[in-house]
Amino acid sequence: MGERWCAAVLRVLVLQALAWALAGGQVRYSVAEEAKAGTVVGRLAQDLGLEAGEAEARRLRLVAPGRRASVEVSGASGALLVSSRLDREELCGKSAPCALRLEVLLERPLRVFHVQLEVTDINDNAPVFPAARKNLSIAEWTTLPGSRFPLEGASDADIGVNAQLSYTLSPSEHFSLDLQKTNERNIEPELVLTKALDRETIPVHRLVLTASDGGRPSLTGTMELLISVLDTNDNAPQFNQSVYKVQLPESAAVGTLVMRVNATDVDEGINSEVTYAVTNFIPPTGRDVISINPNTGEIHLTAALDFEEVSIFAGVQALRESGLLSMSA
């Protein structure tokens, strides 16, 4: 019993060796991924040395064609055909070459052949960025030209030249792109500030980073860069008038609203908050006559007007909260 089994195995092995010898080793074919169903991959029967009609008579077929084989042997012609979608990326991912091993069976007498099928890449995948949009915040003025901001590169599911990426940035007066080659295959794009930013001129910069692969035709993917410019305290408050004049009757009561001054600051947040102070009274006794509300800029009379003093000149100062910059009127 055991001997008979052994003999059977031996016979198969001998037959296989014979088949190899006949076929001159392994039969190799290659087919481009995404080839249409029915595409002839190779004239299998002929390449295995079969006579016309033999393929059908001896039932030339694939052994247990796997779920992923996607090829079949045509009964009539004995040709290997594409039977369903062949997606190289699904079959082999990033590994290359993408070679499928197929076993082909022939009956009477029994023979097994190995066929290697290489699925070649076509440029069927575009570069993809990890996100469609990236937000960056960069401080105006204090961020110096030459500052670099690393960006995440795109990936391309294809292989070889079809996955070789190059990058371009939409035209910008303030930014350029620098490509850092981390290794043979990988390039990391970096945004470089070429000119200092001014939030008051352009508060938000919108750029588009494009990745193109090396396929023909090339496919592209894009990522939008949204750059918010952060405020620094770079603007002084501005009065809406350089001179404020008011005439009051001598009889004006204490507490009368003399006038209201107004300064605004184009910076943002606390950098735009303005407080007021009065300085430089001429004559100095003016200090006792008027006072300013530091928050509203309202100037009130705090004493009765002296008949003798014809006029009071007062310098009004608008101070930024931070106290770094001031403007006088």
Ligand X SMILES: *[C@@H]1O[C@H](CO)[C@@H](O)[C@H](O)[C@H]1NC(C)=O
Query: Looking at beta carbons only, is 66 or 269 nearer to ligand X?
Result: 269
CB atoms within 10 A of CB 48: 20
Span of 8-16, 246-254, 256-264, 270-278 interacting with ligand X by CB under 6 A:
256-264
What would the two tokens of residue 182 be? 């981390």
State the DSSP string of 118-160: EEE--S----B-S-SEEEEEEETTTSPTT-EEE-PPPB-SS-G
Q: Are 165 and 254 in contact (CB under 8 A)?
A: no
Angle among Cα 90, 78, 91 to the nearest 5 degrees reads: 5
* 106, 59 contact by CB (below 8 A): yes
# residues contacting ligand X (CB under 6 A): 9
Q: Which stretch binds ligand X (CB under 6 A): 9-17, 69-77, 102-110, 257-265?
A: 257-265
The Cα–Cα gap between 158 and 123 comes to 7
Amino acid of residue 91: L
Among 13, 18, 179, 226, binds ligand X (CB under 6 A): 226
3-state class of 249 per DSSP?
A: coil
Among 264, 280, 295, 322, binds ligand X (CB under 6 A): 264
Name the CA dihedral angle for 154, 160, 162, 165, rounded to a multiple of 10 degrees: 30
Q: Are 279 and 317 in contact (CB under 8 A)?
A: yes
Q: Determine if 262 is a binding residue for ligand X (CB under 6 A).
A: yes
> Which listed residue (186, 194, 240, 279) binds ligand X by CB under 6 A?
240
Q: Exposure of 212 by Cβ count < 10 A (0-12 exposed, 13-18 middle, 19+ buried)?
A: buried
Query: Closest approach of Cβ 263 to ligand X, in Å?
Result: 8
Q: Which of 43, 205, 260, 300 binds ligand X (CB under 6 A)?
A: 260
Q: Rounded to 10 degrees, what is the CA torsion of 72, 77, 79, 83?
A: -30
Rounded CA separation 144/173 (Å): 14
Beta bridge partners of 220: 212
Min separation Cβ 309 and ligand X, Å: 25
Q: What residues contact residue 242 under an 8 Å CB cut-off, 6+ apart?
A: 329
Residue with smaller CB distance to ligand X, 43 or 260: 260
Name the segment binding ligand X (CB under 6 A); options: 157-165, 213-221, 259-267, 308-316.
Answer: 259-267
* 26 belongs to the binding site for ligand X (CB under 6 A): no
Which of 182, 186, 194, 241 binds ligand X (CB under 6 A)? It is 241
Shortest Cβ distance from residue 279 to ligand X (Å)?
A: 19
Q: Which tokens go with 222?
A: 């894009």
Choose the binding region for ligand X from 258-266, 269-277, 286-294, 309-317 (rule: CB under 6 A).
258-266
Site string for ligand X, 80-119 (x = CB under 6 A): ----------------------------------------
* Residues in 116-155 at the binding interface with ligand X, rule: CB under 6 A: 133, 135
Nearer to ligand X, 37 or 226 (CB): 226
* Residue nearer to ligand X on the CB measure, 186 or 241: 241
- Residue 295, interface with ligand X (CB under 6 A)? no
In the complex, which residues of this chain contact ligand X (CB under 6 A)? 133, 135, 226, 240-241, 260, 262, 264, 296
